[in-house]
């Protein structure tokens, strides 16, 4: 059977389809879309920066359109979701608890996320903390005072915060909800009363085999070296793995313009075969989070989309090329630009400090309409009434270079 030949645009479309970003949402979002969208992506990375909507809410918005942000909080509170270290700190379906349990049971292998010396040094107070939770119910680190008044910074975390972080990584406690985005912890044995490690836990090899399959499905189309990063796994023996998957019919090899050999998941192949004329079309324009799965692997984003991107919030301001929290801009299957912006919640204004288009992108009526709609939707979802613009590419939004009222659109 001849190897399927795909253009670079087709490969991009297949990846975006697998990620839920190929087409505009067909209907208004519903509460159960939170879980199904996270299942489609496998993971939803957590980040606390809130110059605009926090990343996990934004990643969902890019796919679902406008929805109440508390739906995500309620999905965690109801037990549909859990938190743990996956790609990084992530929301994932609680049904995937078995996939990460082996990490909890071997926390010493979690690097900086777990400090055995601290846990042993403070074993007595940690045992008291566990007993307190068992007797009094869920806690936040904010429930405990810092012994040194005025301390600040992660390097001066109050002891109970460090205790809870260690217990979380070791799987002794779980996050049962977030209040104002602060974690609330309860004992794992109370959250998962029917779980039994002897009966239910998977070996590391078995869990990682499932994670790799999830990665292949959520990527849709991939180079072998992209697989392991999705869940931050050790690099598998790829030739044998891909041969077994091909024998099973899980993936097929394809040849992609400019990228060469890639692998296509069977779900993506079925979507391609059912598309009119065997071609997927991209119609979606969206503002993306820096922690969106489409761009969180910077090498993958550069290879697949020719989009060179790095997050500069930890770079000193004078050394930044673009800005503090720059958001990628998606338009009809391509990453066409980026913008540095801030949501002024009191004045209900979204301020765009600067917007850049990629060098090869030409300003057309379709591009302008798509970006304007995406920016308006993004701002309106955050209750903004007005867009303020400071620096735009020449020729973009002519006549409205300083901004516009959203309701006038």
Residue 150: predicted pLDDT: 52
Residue 155: predicted pLDDT: 44
Residue 188 domain-assigned (yes or no): yes
Residue 397: predicted pLDDT: 97
Q: Where are the beta strands (DSSP E) in 223-314?
A: 251-256, 260-265, 285-287
Residues 289 and 195 in one domain: no
Distance of alpha carbon 161 from alpha carbon 146, whole angstroms: 9
Residue 100 domain-assigned (yes or no): yes
Residue 308: predicted pLDDT: 97
Q: Is the pLDDT of residue 350 over 50?
A: yes
Task: Please give the average per-residue pLDDT across 243-249, as a whole number.
Answer: 98
Residue 205 domain-assigned (yes or no): no
Residue 406: predicted pLDDT: 96
Residue 230 domain-assigned (yes or no): no
Residue 407: predicted pLDDT: 76
> 131 vs 134, 143, 163, 182, 187, CA distance in Å?
5, 15, 13, 21, 10
Residues 289 and 383 in one domain: yes
Whether 363 contacts 396, CB under 8 Å: yes
Task: Please give the average per-residue pLDDT across 180-199, as a whole number.
Answer: 97
DSSP bridge pairs for 352: 341, 389
Mean pLDDT of the chain: 95
Whether 11 contacts 260, CB under 8 Å: no
Q: Is the pLDDT of residue 232 over 50?
A: yes
Distance of alpha carbon 405 from alpha carbon 349, whole angstroms: 9
Residue 38 domain-assigned (yes or no): no
Residue 156: predicted pLDDT: 47
Residue 148: predicted pLDDT: 58
pLDDT 10s digits, 136-153: 999 998 888 765 555 444
Task: Give the CB-side neighbour count of residue 337, counting CA atoms within 13 A.
Answer: 23
Domain containing residue 196: 95-147+157-200
Residue 23 domain-assigned (yes or no): no
Residue 262 domain-assigned (yes or no): no
Whether 135 contacts 79, CB under 8 Å: no
Residue 149: predicted pLDDT: 55
- Percent residues over pLDDT 70 in the chain: 96
CATH number, domain of 114, equals 1.10.10
CB atoms under 10 Å from CB of 279, counted, come to: 11
Whether 213 contacts 250, CB under 8 Å: yes
Domain count, the chain: 2
List the structure tokens of 325: 């929290």
Distance of alpha carbon 299 from alpha carbon 309, whole angstroms: 9
CB atoms under 10 Å from CB of 123, counted, come to: 10
User: Which carries the bigger pLDDT value, residue 158 or residue 341?
Assistant: 341
Task: Please give the average per-residue pLDDT across 316-333, as a whole number.
Answer: 96
- Percent residues over pLDDT 90 in the chain: 93
Residue 79 domain-assigned (yes or no): no
* Residues ≥6 apart with Cβ < 8 Å to 168: 174, 175, 183, 185
Task: Please give the average per-residue pLDDT across 48-58, as a whole number.
Answer: 98
Longest dimension (CA), the chain: 71
Task: Please give the average per-residue pLDDT across 21-31, as a whole number.
Answer: 97
CATH number, domain of 350, equals 3.40.630
Q: Is the pLDDT of residue 178 over 60?
A: yes
DSSP bridge pairs for 338: 328, 356
Categorize the per-residue pLDDT at 154 as very low, low, confident or very high, splitting at 50, 70 and 90: very low
Task: Please give the average per-residue pLDDT across 225-237, as a whole number.
Answer: 95
Which residue stretches of 137-282 are H helix?
159-169, 188-191, 197-200, 204-219, 238-248, 266-274
Distance of alpha carbon 394 from alpha carbon 376, whole angstroms: 20
Distance of alpha carbon 168 from alpha carbon 173, whole angstroms: 5
Distance of alpha carbon 318 from alpha carbon 311, whole angstroms: 14
Whether 109 contacts 91, CB under 8 Å: no
Question: Crossing angle of helices 70-77/33-41, nearest 10°?
Answer: 80
pLDDT 10s digits, 114-130: 999 999 999 999 999 99
Q: What is the DSSP string of 346-405?
A: TTTEEEEEEEEE-TTPPP-HHHHHHHHHHHHHHHHHTT--EEEES---TTSSTT-TTEEE
DSSP bridge pairs for 184: 177
Tracing tokens 């070296």 back to the chain, one arrives at 225
């Amino acid at each position: 059977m001849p190897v399927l030949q795909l253009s670079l645009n087709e490969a991009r479309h297949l990846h975006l389809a697998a990620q839920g970003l190929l087409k505009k949402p067909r209907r208004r979002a519903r509460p159960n879309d939170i879980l199904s969208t996270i299942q489609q992506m496998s993971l939803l990375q957590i980040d606390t920066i809130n110059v605009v909507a926090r990343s996990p809410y934004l990643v969902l918005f890019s796919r679902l359109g406008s929805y109440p942000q508390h739906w995500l909080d309620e999905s965690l509170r109801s037990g549909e979701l859990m938190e743990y270290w996956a790609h990084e700190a992530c929301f994932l379906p609680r049904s995937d608890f078995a996939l990460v349990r082996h990490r909890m049971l071997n926390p010493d292998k979690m690097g900086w996320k777990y400090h055995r010396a601290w846990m042993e040094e403070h074993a007595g107070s940690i045992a008291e903390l566990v007993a307190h939770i068992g007797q009094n119910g869920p806690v936040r680190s904010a429930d405990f005072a810092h012994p040194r008044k005025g301390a600040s910074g992660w390097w001066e975390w109050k002891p109970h915060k460090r205790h809870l972080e260690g217990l979380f990584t070791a799987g002794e406690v779980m996050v049962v909800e977030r209040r104002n985005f602060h974690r609330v912890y309860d004992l794992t044995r109370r959250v998962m009363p029917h779980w039994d490690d002897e009966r239910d836990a998977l070996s590391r090899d078995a869990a990682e085999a499932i994670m790799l399959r999830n990665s292949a499905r959520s990527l849709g189309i991939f180079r072998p070296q992209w697989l392991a990063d999705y869940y931050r796994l050790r690099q598998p023996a790829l030739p044998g793995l891909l041969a077994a998957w091909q024998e099973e019919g899980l993936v097929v090899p394809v040849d992609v313009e400019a990228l060469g050999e890639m692998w296509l998941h069977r779900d993506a192949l079925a979507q391609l075969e059912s598309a009119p004329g065997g071609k997927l079309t991209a119609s979606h324009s969206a503002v993306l989070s820096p922690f969106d799965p489409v761009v969180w692997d910077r090498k993958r984003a550069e290879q697949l989309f020719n989009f060179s991107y790095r997050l500069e919030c930890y770079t000193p301001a004078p050394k930044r090329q673009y800005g503090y929290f720059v958001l990628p801009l998606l338009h009809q299957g391509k990453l066409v630009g980026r913008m540095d912006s801030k949501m002024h919640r009191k004045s209900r204004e979204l301020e765009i400090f600067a917007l850049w288009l990629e060098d090869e992108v030409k300003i057309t009526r379709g591009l302008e309409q798509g970006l304007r709609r995406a920016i308006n939707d993004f701002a309106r979802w955050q209750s903004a009434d007005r867009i303020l613009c400071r620096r735009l590419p020449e020729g973009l939004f002519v006549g409205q270079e300083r901004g516009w009222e959203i309701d006038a659109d």
